[in-house]
Structures are given as structure tokens and as C-alpha cells.
Amino acid sequence: MIDMASIAAKRMTEIRLLQRRDWPATWAIIEPVFRAGETYAFPPDISEEETYEIWVEKPTATFVAVSGNGEVLGTYYIKPNQPGPGSHVCNCGYIVAERARGRGIASGMCEHSQREAAARGFRAMQYNLVVATNESAVRLWQHHGFETVGTLAGAFRHPREGFVDAFLMYKQLAT
């Protein structure tokens, strides 16, 4: 079945570099995800300033997915996963606004990030800690060609589930 709403959302959504003025809206979609502590290995009580540092200042580039009417619906960063002789492998983190889920925005950002990564000379993309309970993310990354290269037993402390496994996912990029 063709999901017309999803196609329309993708058409109307633009992915572009984050600008300083996008930050308040971007923080508004990141904050509840970090506070929940279910998917990212950041302290749930992380401050807005620390988040800006890890999401915007330290990465190579940070993007926002913006709707036709200028609303920030998603964001992702791209950065080298390791320095020096490991710096040709990148790492990305993605967040979609809760109200905008199921509209293909994460897929759109994943595809965009792979093109950006290749254009910037990265040869592979690595997700270090995909929480096993985050099944929709695992499926999505698999769909986009990421391989689960390893399982880290009990590597994530979930606020309700306790110690759960995390996956290391990896994809070599066309160069």
C-alpha cells in the first residue's frame, strides 16, 4: 500500500544544516528523548548547554529536518567515530519529534546522512549502541543496509527494563 501521507511529508520536508536560530526548536525535540533515557547513552539530567556541545559543537555537522511551514521535525549529527586512523568511519545520531514519527523522517535523515558522509569522505558509518528494546530503530537501520555486527550484552541500563543488550551496527559506504 502506498502511504500517501508519508510521501507528502517526505516531499515537504527539507533537510538542511542547523543554524543557530534552529536551536530552541531542536532542543525541544531532543530534550524529552534524552530525559526519557531509553535510547541514548547520555545522562537523563544532561543540561541544554551540554547537549548543544555534544549535538552541535563537537560534531562535524548537524542537520535539521524542517517541514514546509518551517517547523523542526527532526535532527541528526555526523562526526568521526574515532580520531586519527579511525576517523574515516563516521557516527551519526538521529532524533525525530514525537509528533512527527511514522512519516519517514528518520529514513529521510538516514539516507541524507549517508550521502553527506560519502561526500565528506567517510568510508563507513557506525552506530555504537543501538538499544535492543528500540526495535523500530533496529529495523529501520537494517532496512537501510546496516548490519548488526555485534551484540553488547547488558550494555544499556534501561529505566524500566534494567540492563538490556545493545547492538553495534555498521555499514560500509559506496566511495
| Residues contributing to the site for a copy of itself (CB under 8 A) | 37, 40-44, 46, 82-89, 123-124, 126, 128-129, 149-159, 163, 166, 168, 170, 172
Which lies closer to a copy of itself via its Cβ, residue 70 or residue 85? 85
In 13-88, DSSP assigns E strands to: 14-17, 61-66, 72-80
Give the other-Cβ count within 10 Å of 92's Cβ.
24
The phi and psi torsions of 71 (rounded to 5 degrees) equal: -85, 135
User: How near is the Cβ of 14 to a copy of itself at its closest, in Å?
Assistant: 32
The phi and psi torsions of 93 (rounded to 5 degrees) equal: -130, 140
For residue 38, the one-letter residue type is: E
Which lies closer to a copy of itself via its Cβ, residue 19 or residue 175? 175
User: How near is the Cβ of 141 to a copy of itself at its closest, in Å?
Assistant: 14
Which lies closer to a copy of itself via its Cβ, residue 23 or residue 170? 170
Is the Cβ–Cβ distance between 55 and 47 less than 8 Å?
A: no
User: How near is the Cβ of 71 to a copy of itself at its closest, in Å?
Assistant: 28
User: How near is the Cβ of 12 to a copy of itself at its closest, in Å?
Assistant: 34
Which lies closer to a copy of itself via its Cβ, residue 16 or residue 123? 123
